[in-house]
Amino acid sequence: MSEKTRTERQIKVNQSLTKIVSDFINENSNRQSLITVTHCDVSPDLRNAVAYISILPEDKEGPAFDFLQRREHDLFDFAKKRSELRRTPRIKFAIDYGEKNRQRIQDISRELSIEEE
Protein backbone atom coordinates (compact mmCIF):
# COMPACT_ATOMS: atom_id res chain seq x y z
CA MET A 1 0.00 0.00 0.00
CA SER A 2 1.48 3.35 -0.93
CA GLU A 3 1.88 6.16 1.59
CA LYS A 4 -0.74 8.27 -0.24
CA THR A 5 -3.51 5.68 0.23
CA ARG A 6 -2.85 5.25 3.96
CA THR A 7 -4.78 7.27 6.48
CA GLU A 8 -3.00 9.46 8.99
CA ARG A 9 -4.04 6.95 11.67
CA GLN A 10 -2.48 4.02 9.78
CA ILE A 11 0.76 5.94 9.34
CA LYS A 12 0.96 6.68 13.07
CA VAL A 13 0.12 3.08 14.00
CA ASN A 14 2.77 1.81 11.56
CA GLN A 15 5.40 4.03 13.16
CA SER A 16 4.38 2.98 16.66
CA LEU A 17 4.37 -0.71 15.76
CA THR A 18 7.79 -0.44 14.12
CA LYS A 19 9.20 0.89 17.40
CA ILE A 20 7.39 -1.72 19.51
CA VAL A 21 8.53 -4.63 17.31
CA SER A 22 12.11 -3.29 17.35
CA ASP A 23 12.04 -3.10 21.15
CA PHE A 24 10.65 -6.63 21.36
CA ILE A 25 13.40 -8.01 19.13
CA ASN A 26 16.10 -6.13 21.07
CA GLU A 27 14.87 -7.58 24.35
CA ASN A 28 14.34 -11.16 23.13
CA SER A 29 16.88 -11.99 20.43
CA ASN A 30 20.06 -13.91 21.18
CA ARG A 31 22.19 -11.44 19.20
CA GLN A 32 23.56 -14.12 16.85
CA SER A 33 22.18 -12.14 13.94
CA LEU A 34 21.25 -8.53 13.27
CA ILE A 35 17.48 -8.28 12.91
CA THR A 36 16.21 -4.91 11.70
CA VAL A 37 12.58 -3.89 11.42
CA THR A 38 12.43 -1.89 8.19
CA HIS A 39 8.75 -0.96 8.53
CA CYS A 40 5.30 -2.17 9.54
CA ASP A 41 2.14 -2.22 7.45
CA VAL A 42 -1.16 -2.27 9.32
CA SER A 43 -4.43 -3.24 7.64
CA PRO A 44 -7.09 -0.54 7.12
CA ASP A 45 -9.20 -2.00 9.96
CA LEU A 46 -6.11 -1.96 12.27
CA ARG A 47 -6.66 -5.64 13.19
CA ASN A 48 -3.62 -7.13 11.45
CA ALA A 49 -0.13 -5.94 10.67
CA VAL A 50 2.99 -7.18 8.94
CA ALA A 51 6.41 -6.32 10.33
CA TYR A 52 8.96 -6.33 7.51
CA ILE A 53 12.43 -7.34 8.64
CA SER A 54 15.94 -7.62 7.35
CA ILE A 55 18.34 -10.20 8.81
CA LEU A 56 22.13 -10.26 8.59
CA PRO A 57 24.15 -12.36 8.02
CA GLU A 58 22.06 -14.11 5.39
CA ASP A 59 23.06 -17.60 6.56
CA LYS A 60 21.29 -16.86 9.89
CA GLU A 61 18.09 -15.68 8.18
CA GLY A 62 16.25 -19.02 8.44
CA PRO A 63 16.80 -19.64 12.17
CA ALA A 64 16.16 -15.98 13.06
CA PHE A 65 12.93 -15.88 11.04
CA ASP A 66 11.76 -19.16 12.64
CA PHE A 67 12.49 -17.68 16.08
CA LEU A 68 10.38 -14.62 15.29
CA GLN A 69 7.48 -16.69 13.99
CA ARG A 70 7.50 -18.83 17.14
CA ARG A 71 7.37 -15.68 19.28
CA GLU A 72 4.45 -13.95 17.49
CA HIS A 73 2.09 -14.56 20.44
CA ASP A 74 4.69 -13.13 22.85
CA LEU A 75 5.01 -10.12 20.57
CA PHE A 76 1.23 -9.63 20.71
CA ASP A 77 1.34 -9.60 24.54
CA PHE A 78 4.33 -7.23 24.48
CA ALA A 79 2.59 -4.88 22.02
CA LYS A 80 -0.62 -4.96 24.06
CA LYS A 81 1.27 -3.69 27.10
CA ARG A 82 3.29 -1.09 25.20
CA SER A 83 0.77 0.38 22.78
CA GLU A 84 -1.99 2.82 23.54
CA LEU A 85 -4.33 1.29 20.96
CA ARG A 86 -7.77 0.09 21.96
CA ARG A 87 -7.29 -3.00 19.82
CA THR A 88 -3.80 -4.39 19.36
CA PRO A 89 -3.25 -5.77 15.86
CA ARG A 90 -2.03 -9.32 15.29
CA ILE A 91 1.49 -8.93 13.93
CA LYS A 92 3.08 -11.34 11.45
CA PHE A 93 6.66 -11.19 10.21
CA ALA A 94 7.85 -11.06 6.61
CA ILE A 95 11.28 -10.70 5.04
CA ASP A 96 11.68 -7.29 3.40
CA TYR A 97 12.78 -8.37 -0.07
CA GLY A 98 12.74 -4.76 -1.27
CA GLU A 99 15.46 -3.93 1.23
CA LYS A 100 17.31 -7.12 0.35
CA ASN A 101 17.25 -6.20 -3.34
CA ARG A 102 18.38 -2.65 -2.57
CA GLN A 103 21.36 -4.00 -0.65
CA ARG A 104 22.23 -6.38 -3.50
CA ILE A 105 22.10 -3.55 -6.06
CA GLN A 106 24.32 -1.45 -3.81
CA ASP A 107 26.85 -4.33 -3.57
CA ILE A 108 26.87 -4.80 -7.35
CA SER A 109 27.29 -1.06 -7.88
CA ARG A 110 30.24 -1.02 -5.48
CA GLU A 111 31.84 -3.99 -7.29
CA LEU A 112 31.41 -2.27 -10.67
CA SER A 113 32.95 0.98 -9.44
CA ILE A 114 35.96 -0.93 -8.05
CA GLU A 115 36.43 -2.74 -11.40
CA GLU A 116 36.36 0.58 -13.28
CA GLU A 117 39.23 2.02 -11.23
Domains, the chain, ranges and CATH? 3-116 (3.30.300.20)
Reference 79, options 93, 67, 63, 95; nearest CA is 93
- When pLDDT is cut at 50, 70 and 90, the band that residue 103 belongs to is confident
CA dihedral 57, 54, 34, 3 (to 10 degrees): 150
Q: What's the whole-model pTM score?
A: 0.82
- When pLDDT is cut at 50, 70 and 90, the band that residue 55 belongs to is very high
Enter the DSSP assignment of 44: T
pLDDT in tens, 87-97: 999 999 999 98
